[in-house]
Amino acid sequence: MTERAGVYGGSLYDLAAEEQLTEPIMKDLIEVRGIFRENQDYLRLLAEPSIKREERIGLIEKAFGTACERYFVSFLKLLCDRGMLGEYEGCVEAYKKRYNADHNIAEAVVTSAVALSDGQLKALSDKLAEMSGKTIALSSRVDPKVLAGIKVELEGKQLDGTVTGRLAGMSKKLEEIII
């Protein structure tokens, strides 16, 4: 995330908090991020300098004007006008970071060799909430390379209970002993 994206995302959060719209704007940010990710051509179109500014801003109004919060639509128009739509992801991250801090939410990612059941994810989320004292926003990934067990990333810390992690740890200890 660039410094500019952090400033813009943080400023949007300040406005949303002042207007008591943090949740609806967070929802809009996430939904539009998905749209931009799925439609890279649309994002490039909105950033195309050969298209008149008014036309590009009109496209934003047409696409999001009635579906999203007005402050959010104005934010998108501002990014478009200033040639900063490429920094949208960073703005989302800055906003989300402030939102999570204010709402005592910690994001966690669990990686396992096979998909975890809803019950396993709920139990893990509850345990992480107990450990951290925060509400957990848990996402999961499947990576067959972990062989077995799970790896959890929570607030910059990694808890590795995978077979791969244990083997790597044993290998490192063996290297230390041999050297």
Q: Which residues contact 107 (CB under 8 A, 6 or more apart)?
A: 100, 136, 137, 139, 154, 155
Pairwise CA distance, residues 134 & 101, whole Å: 10
pLDDT recorded at residue 179: 61
The arithmetic mean of pLDDT across residues 42-66, rounded, is 91
Q: What's the CATH code, domain 3-100?
A: 1.10.520.20
Pairwise CA distance, residues 136 & 88, whole Å: 24
CATH of 105-178, one of 2.60.200, 3.30.70, 3.40.30, 3.40.50: 3.40.30
Pairwise CA distance, residues 157 & 71, whole Å: 35
The arithmetic mean of pLDDT across residues 108-120, rounded, is 87
Q: Domain extents for the chain?
A: 3-100, 105-178
In the numeric block, which tokens belong to residue 114? Answer: 């096979």
Would you say residue 31 has pLDDT above 90?
A: yes
User: What's the pTM value of the predicted model, to 2 decimals?
Assistant: 0.75
pLDDT recorded at residue 120: 86
Question: Alpha carbon 48 to chain centroid distance?
Answer: 26
